[in-house]
Chain A
Amino acid sequence: MYNNFVEPEKALLLRARRLDKQALAEIYDLFSPRLYRYALRLLGSPVVAEECVADTFERLLLAMHRGGGPREYLQAYLYRVAHNWVTDYYRRNPLPELPLDPNLQADHEPSQALVEDMDQQRLRSALGCISPDQRQVIVLKYLEGWQNEQISLAISKSIGAVKALQHRGLISLQKILLDEPAAME
């Protein structure tokens, strides 16, 4: 289980909403590493992932400064912000071309490191091609290890809708990655 879905105590969130530095530092320390991994998986670049994390926390801070921000479910809130950031990033930046499946290149045996690197790029590129909602569900489910109930909470959709998005996302990824290698070209 890679996600224990710890929600900070409400008192911590309340203190943070009053811009208590210690509370905000605790929240940063708790969620920053997770958000970094989430962003890195999707973006592939440590620099851009750091940018995503910084912007996510800045938005949280500004929302709280305005008197807004989450009253509960902080983790769901932060992942929604990060998800939106990534979605905007995908929109602003051309999608990387889907690399060939290294396992299909039969003329020589690719190194394990190369295979892993290209696999990562392929999945990342494919995730950029599916709808944002599908992507969010697939990523939270299969990369972050969330349960459907948690995803339902995070994206404000019913569990049935989460399952449907999961199904459609898997089908889309299958088409892009396995059935139609040229789909992105």
Chain B
Amino acid sequence: MSHSPEEAYLRLRELFHRLRVTPPRDPKVAARARELFLAKVDAVGDSRPSFFLLLISRLNTFEKPRRFAWAVTSILLAVALLLGGAGAAYASQSALPAEPLYQLKIAIEDLRLTLSTDEAGDANLLLQFIQRRVDEMASLAGHERFEDISIPVARYNDSLLQLATIILDYIERGDSRARELISLLAEALAEHEKVLSTLLETLPASANSGIELAIQISKEVFESEEMTQGEVEEEASEGDVEIKDIQPDKGLQGQTLNVEIVGENTHFSAASVVNFIPANGIDVNTVVANNSTSITVNVTIESSAPLGGRQVTVVTQEETASGESFRIEEEVGNSPEESEGNNDEFGEIELIDVDPDVGRQGQTLTVVIIGEGTHFSSNSQVSLGSGIATNSISVQSSTQLTVSVTVANSAALGDRNVIVTTGSEIVGGQEFRVESGAADESGDEGERNDESDGGEQDSDQEEAQEVIFTGTVESISSQTWTINSKHVAITAQTEIKDDIEVGDVVEVRALLMPDGTLVAERIELND
């Protein structure tokens, strides 16, 4: 049974409508679920608070001890200088906890922190101090002075809290130094954990608790910093320069109007240049930068301007912002009315799919372009941007064509707009990206995704299909298994859940790649 596109769409909408209607939730079950959730909140709240909660609880009181430390430090330093001058201060540097000069050593550290004028200086000092504390723990253990180990452990904890405070402040301000400091701290903590773990093996059980606490603290901070590192990267990734909004986003033939373009992470200025691509039929009269993320452009649309979408870019020196488009529509009275309540773009004229939308330098490939409301014909011309040559075009219908293109070896990397021109109809709305000609040389960035606990791979492998099958294992090697005569590639990401041997019946979840290769994601015994 075949359906016209309109029939198919209406039938799908009918099915969507059916599924949209849901029976009411059982109020008793809902109330019970709410109770359970709040009980979990209580349970989590009662458990040992996370490092960050500890930190937050201390943030408000952080200044007081510091002022207090300044007073104590001043007195101690004055006494030290009276008693022995700088020599005593120097000698104190090797002092261990509970020794007479240790108080002076700590006082000098506090003084240096107090005199430090910025957070970067504080961070450097604190990194030194936590290393000292670990050294002290090791020395105390070497001298079998186990009872004093709790002193450096406590100060180790305090210094880590101060470091984390600095990192959080950096992150709050979007300061890139957060990344560097996190990296340094993570490196130090990894080393500390090794040292402390070794100590733990040699200490008598009675002395373990202090070291265990230090290990726990370093681990907890390490994990927290790893998460924070993820947040830093997340925030960095949010720094993409782009156009977020265009108001209005359409104009009529013959109209002159002001259009406000709103950017994100942009630096719009009087030097900004606004482009409408393709530019024919639309003239930019004036450009006024309202602020770094807002610019107002006055444009005139010619009466004969081709209808359809225009990609909008704002170029400010080295920065190019794009991401939204502007439409030219027929003059009032001629514009087709949009169907009531239809917010799903059906009825607009634009490109809605370019598949594949990525090509490599030097590659020749076939790209399918899907339009909506378009009138593709044998006269259609296709542009995928600079550095990409069009070899041939095959039109399947008024809304679909196939184009063979060759990406030049020297083609600039990055996105470009796809434009299909058919007579006066110029249609855009999709992009094509050129990537490096070297195959897959980029490492996996390992993007952190808190919410991906469910395990979905965050990739857009439109060409790869996930398949699940069961079969008997016929051979096993490090890179390939044969299961039911199918060769399945094993990668570092493949999860092999059980001890599996040749002859076992297994369930395989794999990606079927466009070239027919099966890449295993998970293999487990079939119960």
Q: Mark A residues whose CB is within 8 Å of B.
A: 2, 18-19, 21, 24-25, 28-29, 32-33, 36-37, 40-41, 46, 50, 53-54, 57-59, 61-63, 65-71, 77, 80-81, 83-85, 87-88, 91, 104, 116, 119-120, 122-124, 131-133, 141-143, 147-148, 156-161, 163-164, 166-168, 170, 173-174, 177-179, 181
**Also in contact, A178 and B18, with CB within 8 A (given A19-B41, A164-B352):** no
Could you say which of B20, B37, B357 contacts A58, with CB atoms under 8 Å apart? B37
Q: Considering the chains assembled together, what is the distance between the CA atoms of A81 and B454 in angstroms?
A: 7
Min CB distance A113 to B, Å, is 11
- Within 1-33 of B, Cβ neighbours of A (below 8 Å) are at 1-3, 8-9, 11-16, 18-23, 25-26, 29-30, 33
Question: Is the beta-carbon distance between A167 and B353 smaller than 8 angstroms?
Answer: yes
Q: Does B52 touch A at the CB level, under 8 Å? A: yes
Instruction: Let me know if A67 and B44 touch, CB within 8 A.
Output: no
Enumerate chain B residues within 8 angstroms of A46, measured Cβ to Cβ. 23, 25-26, 29
Number of chain B interface residues as a range: 35 or more
Q: Is the CB of B460 within 8 A of A161?
A: yes
Min CB distance A181 to B, Å, is 8
Given A28-B37, A65-B44, does the pair A123, B456 have CB atoms closer than 8 Å?
no
B430 at the interface (CB under 8 A from A): yes
Task: Give me 16 other A-B pairs in contact (C-beta within 8 A), A18-B53, A32-B34, A83-B456 excluded.
Answer: A19-B53, A32-B33, A36-B30, A46-B26, A59-B451, A63-B450, A77-B451, A81-B453, A141-B344, A158-B323, A164-B353, A164-B355, A166-B352, A174-B3, A177-B15, A179-B1
Task: Flag if B430 contacts A160 (CB, 8 Å).
Answer: yes
A-B contacts at CB below 8 angstroms, number: 183
- Given the known interface contacts A63-B451, A81-B454, A178-B8, the answer about A116 and B460 at a Cβ–Cβ threshold of 8 Å is no
Q: Shortest beta-carbon distance, B275 to chain A, in Å?
A: 18
Q: Are B41 and A178 in contact (CB under 8 A)?
A: no
Identify A174's interface contact among B8, B231, B345, B429, CB under 8 A: B8
- A67's partner among B227, B345, B468 (CB-CB below 8 A) is B227
Contact, CB under 8 Å: A54 / B33: yes
Pairs across A and B, CB under 8 Å, 30 listed: A19-B53, A24-B37, A32-B33, A46-B29, A50-B29, A58-B40, A59-B451, A61-B40, A66-B223, A66-B227, A67-B50, A67-B52, A81-B453, A85-B454, A123-B18, A142-B13, A143-B19, A143-B20, A147-B343, A156-B458, A164-B355, A166-B352, A167-B353, A167-B370, A170-B9, A170-B12, A174-B8, A178-B12, A179-B1, A179-B8
Asked if A84 contacts B451 (CB within 8 A), the reply is yes
With A18-B53, A65-B44 in contact, do A57 and B354 touch (Cβ < 8 Å)?
Answer: no
Say yes or no: A160-B431 contact (C-beta < 8 A), given A37-B22, A67-B227, A178-B3: yes
- B320 to chain A minimum Cβ distance, whole angstroms, is 15
Q: Is the CB of A120 within 8 A of B18?
A: yes
**B117 touches A (CB below 8 Å):** no
CB distance from A13 to the nearest CB of B (A): 14
Contact call A68/B450, Cβ cutoff below 8 A: yes
For B376-413 the 0/1 string (1 means CB < 8 A from A) is 00000000000000000000000000000000000000
Are B15 and A25 in contact, CB atoms less than 8 angstroms apart? Answer: no
Is B509 located at the chain interface by the 8 A CB criterion? yes
Contacts of B45 in A (CB 8 A): 19, 21
Whether B12 pairs with A174 at a CB distance below 8 angstroms is yes
Distance in Å: Cβ of A53 to nearest Cβ of chain B:
7
CB closest residue in chain B, given A47: B29
CB–CB B34/A28 < 8 A: yes
> Known contacts A46-B29, A164-B354: does B456 contact A69 (CB below 8 Å)?
no
Q: With contacts A58-B40, A91-B468 known, is A122 near B15, CB below 8 A?
A: yes
Is B38 positioned at the interface, with any CB of A under 8 Å from its CB?
yes
